[in-house]
Amino acid sequence: MQENVKENKMGTMPENRLLISMALPMMLSMLVQACYNIVDSWFLAKVSEECLTAVSLAFAVQMLVVSFTGGLGVGINALLSKSLGEKNFKEANRAAMNGILIAIVGAVVFLIFGLFFCEAYFRAQTDVESIIKEGSSYLSICMTCGFALIAQMILERLLQSTGKTLFSMITQMTGALTNIILDPIFIFGYFGLPAMGTAGAAVATVIGQTVAASLALIFNLTVNKEIQFSLAGLRPKMSTIRRILTVGFPAMVMQSVGSVMNFGMNQILLTFSETATAVFGVYFKLNSFIFMPVFGMNNAVVPILAYNYGARNKKRMTKTMKLSLLYAFSIMTIGMIIFQTIPDKLLGIFEASDNMLAIGVPALRTISLSFVIASVCIILISTFQALGNGHYSLIISAIRQLVVLLPVAYVFSLTGNIDMVWWAFPIAELVALALTIVYFLRLYRKKIKPLELPVQE
């Protein structure tokens, strides 16, 4: 890597313009991804409620793939962007290549699960054969071809790490649109193809991910000049891997905790009915329209903060944090208002029966009370990841979802009133907010405030 590379825009562009230029492409692409999530379930709901329930139960395992890759991406982002801020281009390149190596190992693990364990996973949750059959076929395809999603996410994160978010937006949108177009063709069997149901949705998903991954690879090879791709670069360097995993592993576990929570909530809700589980799955599809843009902003904030932390620019860091908090708070407020005012219309997208509406309307209204609180947590947690303190994120997530949310939901379920179960979400979010503020103030005092001082020779 040549050291005469011009100054990266993360250190020079005005903060608001920089945040918008990096976050907006990610937010738009994630909105398209959220649209895919809705369309996918909308088509399957037209097949049967069992198909919708099957995909909802599969979601917990799919989240593991996303958690692994997303957490790894956070680790790569933080190290790569910080190294660029320090003008250490050699370490930035090692971060990219060793990150890809870790991703390959993960893809092999998920391949093994897809080949041998999908049916056992579903039988552990339900004895309804139609759900087991549809869910197993869907999940086995997604997991055995999980390398496509992993490649897409990692290659997009490399583009994001160097500030080229427009290109990652193009790849995500292309993959999602491919998925949306192919969904009805494979699910219902158009153009002479057999109707494949949930398996068709999985095939469309994998094809979309493969298209996006291929495009992301092309962009990295042609426009991402700050990274040099080579087989030699895949040679493991333990110090680099350790630095990636120091941030990335807590992020992986943090996001995997969400998968455990999803599985646990499904078990609690199945004591009421399969419809309750379908409602929970539908909620996650719907909330992605609100959370995905905020997560897109989070993905933009991490490299900006990491770069400027490496460059010791406290002013740019604090202004970026304030702006991102304002934008995230505004998005979540709008989302809460929508969920409060038209929950029946939102559920109607999924051909909701009267029973589903009776369960779902109170669910959406209650859970959405936590949206505004979550916005603050998401943005402040990006600071932990950018500055190499991902374990704070892990602790907060574990306490929120495993120590508070699941136990409270279980206790409330003992009342026999399913409407009480949903209150576990805002309660858990309040606890998470308190912990997040405590950790942020500690991190600000130890790492951000000292940036005002001159570097000791």
How would residue 424 be classed by pLDDT, with cut points 50, 70 and 90? Answer: very high
Say if residue 198's pLDDT is above 60: yes
Other beta carbons less than 10 A from residue 451's beta carbon: 16
User: Per-residue pLDDT tens for 69-93?
Assistant: 988 988 887 788 778 777 787 888 8
More confident residue, 352 or 10: 352
Which long-range contacts does 36-41 make (Cβ < 8 Å, 24+ apart)? 36/176, 36/179, 36/180, 36/183, 36/208, 37/285, 37/288, 38/285, 38/286, 38/288, 38/289, 38/349, 39/180, 39/183, 40/179, 40/180, 40/183, 40/201, 40/204, 40/205, 41/281, 41/282, 41/285, 41/350
pLDDT band at 306 (very low <50, low <70, confident <90, very high): confident
Q: What torsion do the CA atoms of 406, 57, 108, 119 make, to the nearest 10 degrees?
A: 120
* pLDDT score, position 208: 93
Please, which pLDDT band fits residue 300 given cuts at 50, 70 and 90? confident
User: What is the identity of the amino acid at 72?
Assistant: L
Dihedral over alpha carbons 352, 355, 356, 360 (to 10 degrees): 130
What's the confidence (pLDDT) of residue 374?
Answer: 93
Residue 185 has which token pair? 């063709």
Are 57 and 122 in contact, with CB atoms under 8 Å apart?
A: yes
Identity at 361, one-letter amino acid code: V
Mean pLDDT computed over every residue of the chain: 86
Percentages (nearest 5) of helix, strand, coil residues in the chain: 85, 0, 15
Cβ-Cβ contacts under 8 Å for 145 (sequence gap 6 or more): 114, 206, 209, 210
The Cα–Cα gap between 85 and 370 comes to 36
Q: Which residues of 316-326 are buried (b: 16+ CB within 10 A; e: fewer)?
A: bbbbbbebbbe
Cα 182 to Cα 200: distance, rounded to the nearest angstrom? 9
Query: What residue type is assigned to position 21 of the chain?
Result: S
Between CA 419 and CA 45 the distance in angstroms is 23
Top pLDDT among 163 and 148 is at 148
Instruction: Please give the Cα distance from 4 to 178 (Å, whole number).
Output: 39
Domain ranges of the chain: 9-449
pLDDT confidence bin for 256, thresholds 50/70/90 = confident
pLDDT digits (tens, 9 = 90+) for 51-74: 888 888 888 788 888 889 988 988
Rounded to whole angstroms, how far apart are CA atoms 155 and 220?
Answer: 7
Helix and strand numbers, DSSP H then E, in the chain: 18, 0
The pLDDT > 90 percentage for the chain reads 37
- DSSP class of 232: G
Is the pTM above the cut of 0.85? Answer: no
pLDDT at 197 over 60: yes
132, burial (CB in 10 Å: exposed 0-12, middle 13-18, buried 19+):
buried
- Indicate the pLDDT class of residue 363, thresholds 50, 70 and 90: very high
Distance CA 434, CA 99 (A): 33
Q: Per-residue pLDDT tens for 431-451?
A: 999 999 999 999 888 888 887
453 pLDDT tier (thresholds 50, 70, 90)? low
For 78, half-sphere exposure in the C-beta direction (CA atoms, 13 angstrom radius) is: 29
**What single letter denotes the amino acid at residue 298?**
N
- CA 208 vs CA 36, 146, 211, 339, 411: distances in Å: 10, 12, 5, 29, 41
| Cβ 74 vs Cβ 390: under 8 Å | yes
Assess whether pLDDT exceeds 50 at residue 3: no
Handedness of CA 336, 300, 316, 306 (dihedral sign): positive
Which tens digits make up the pLDDT trace of 375-384? 999 889 888 8
Residue 16: CA atoms inside 13 Å, Cβ hemisphere, count? 3
Of the pLDDT bands very low, low, confident and very high (cuts 50, 70, 90), residue 5 is very low
Whether the predicted pLDDT of 96 surpasses 90? no
pLDDT at 335 over 70: yes
Q: For the residues of 117-159, what is the DSSP string, one character each?
A: THHHHHHTT---HHHHHHHHHHHHHHHHTHHHHHHHHHHHHHH
pLDDT surpassing 80 at residue 404: yes
